[in-house]
Amino acid sequence: MRRTAAPLAVALAVSAVLVTGGTSAARPGTDRPSAPHEVMFVGNNWDGTATVVDGRTHETIRTIDTIPDRAARMAEIVARPDKLVFYLAIQAGIGEGRAQYTDDMFTTHDGRLLAVSRPSFADVVGIDLASGAIRWRFPMEGYRSDHMGVSPDGERLLVSDSTANKVHELDIRTGAKTGEFPSGDTPHENNYTADGERVFHASIGRVYTPTDRPVLRQPYDTLKGERVFQIVRTDDMTVESRWDMGKELEEAGYPGMASAVRPMAVAPDERFVYLQVSFFHGWIEFDTQAADPTVTYEGEPTVGAVTRVVDLPQRTTEPRELYVLDSAHHGLAMNPEGTTLCAAGTMDGYAAVIDRDTEEYTLVDVGDKPYWSTNGVDGSECWVSVSGEDEVVVIDYDTAAVVATIPVGDHPQRVREGVVDATVLKAWAR
């Protein structure tokens, strides 16, 4: 169901921009522009929309159409048998019977443009927030687009090209390609370091295949494809480090676990990374700088080691063959202080707020199929999309209390922090 913002919510959002105490407007007699308004974008994957929510009041401001060119794209797909096959395959498999229209989203720092990856259309588009028109479009080399990442300076955009096994780097303002780096099968998440010099990236393999049991270890590995966790340098797009997490887990004493790294959370020191892997109800701590002299590669000690594997409660009674795209849990965030994790328990119907040091946790029942977690605009809250409920649940990191439940569109998945220019908010209010 598509929802439009209530006029009162829009008026409140605009008022917050124009009054002191909120995001300040330019003073009379100056030409200093207003600072962009802090919002959260919720991608409604099956709707082809993005819900814009005030990052502090939790009021819905507007719903954006992310597929205004749907007729043109469908005409292209129907005219190309190869594209049509993949469109239908995505709908039947990964999309759980529905097309995937809105995956990931990032705004430019001025709050005037929103970049959106659209899996079923195998592209990324830049949408003008004021007019809703598409300003640029970048088609994938393959047949599906997926997760993205944005550089700290807001200028570079990464997008995973699912079937081409690579990640494209784009100029976020123009959509022009500026680089690429290789990945494994089905490249997935991309996270820049704070200085923008490196990217933590993972590929998840063919999560749509039916070979989901570790007792089928060899055919399982073969059919799932290459699944890697890697660190990439952004100056020349070279792979600095690469690991098979299944092998790393086996070396740490946990054989038979999957290699596919799902969402991750990078600690403030950017040494420790917290991971979810396919089929696992819990989280993993990986030290990217640990050296193991007992394991060598080309005569040198390998770097990187699993340091903790922590279980969370398994509530589902579904067999693992019915897990959504192999995801027991899919969504992991960490507060800015690096003290607390927030995990989306996809098949278990909860969000877990976890003390990073003690491993103690509080479970928050959120409903059917929580599918992503991320920090809110000031880092004090964890925003969890609950795709089966068409809601986003906002949880306080300190208390693990639910502070808001926000109705959104059909099948929300990715939630991202962003900004909207004050003049755009005014245009929306007209």
Q: How far apart are CA 236 and CA 178, in angstroms?
A: 11
Q: Classify residue 416: in a domain, yes or no.
A: yes
Q: How far apart are CA 107 and CA 57, in angstroms?
A: 20
Nearest in space to 62 (alpha carbons), one of 114, 25, 137, 20:
114
How many domains would you assign to the chain? 1
The position carrying tokens 């103690």 is: 360
Q: Classify residue 75: in a domain, yes or no.
A: yes
Return the pLDDT at 31: 45
Q: How far apart are CA 147 and CA 96, in angstroms?
A: 18
Q: How far is CA 90 from CA 94, 95, 118, 144, 226, in A?
A: 5, 6, 12, 8, 20
Return the pLDDT at 326: 81
How do residues 17-56 score in pLDDT, each as one tens digit?
Answer: 333 333 333 333 344 557 899 999 999 999 999 999 999 9
Q: Classify residue 291: in a domain, yes or no.
A: yes
**How many C-beta neighbours within 10 Å does residue 359 have?**
15
Q: Classify residue 140: in a domain, yes or no.
A: yes
The position carrying tokens 């794209």 is: 73
Kindly give the parts of the chain with pLDDT less than 50. Answer: 1-31, 216-220
Q: Classify residue 415: in a domain, yes or no.
A: yes
Return the pLDDT at 29: 38
Return the pLDDT at 221: 53
CB 373 within 8 A of CB 386: no
Mean pLDDT of the chain: 88
Q: Classify residue 367: in a domain, yes or no.
A: yes
Q: Classify residue 2: in a domain, yes or no.
A: no
Q: What value does the CA radius of gyration of the chain take, rounded to a whole number of Å?
A: 21
Q: Classify residue 323: in a domain, yes or no.
A: yes
CB 361 within 8 A of CB 312: yes
* CATH number of the structural domain spanning residue 31: 2.130.10.10
- Residues of the domain holding 342: 7-429
Q: How far apart are CA 414 and CA 141, in angstroms?
A: 23
From the number of C-beta atoms within 10 Å of its C-beta (0-12, 13-18, 19+), residue 254 rates as middle
Token code pair at residue 45 = 């994957």
